[in-house]
Structure 1
Amino acid sequence: MFLVGVGVWTWVIWPRFGLAIWNDDRAWRSDTPTSFLWVHALLIGASLAVGTAVGVLGVKALRARSRVG
């Protein structure tokens, strides 16, 4: 359940953080994305990928546990 919780938490927190970065004045210069935006987008994408993988592992573990007994 912990792994599933981490996966869900990741999808609750990181998109909100992404929106905050998107709206930050440092993210844009003359309607062009800055490295501030690109670095944070990469970090957010990596975190969502890891969180998804952890959540999937948690679901698989729960399913395997229910099959065993």
Structure 2
Amino acid sequence: MMTDKKPTKKEIEALQAQIEAYQAKPVRENERRVRIGGSFEDAVKKMAEAPPISNKEIKEWAKKQREDME
């Protein structure tokens, strides 16, 4: 779902269902889930209001993340 347009209500609901299904799964010993402060509704609102991001910007961000990890 990496596009330059904002997600529709239907896409947001599908994402919410996917997240809830993932959270219902047990966590393996070698995993650690990231917790974001706030409720799911707050996170969806923040995502919906975020400006679109291009693939080039995603590549640059991922490259920076890899460099920070090294």
TM score, norm. by length of structure 2: 0.34
Higher relative contact order (CA 8 A, sep 6+): 2
- Structure number having the greater strand percentage: 1
Q: Report which of the two structures shows the higher radius of gyration computed on alpha carbons.
A: 1
TM score, norm. by length of structure 1: 0.34
- Structure number having the greater helix percentage: 1
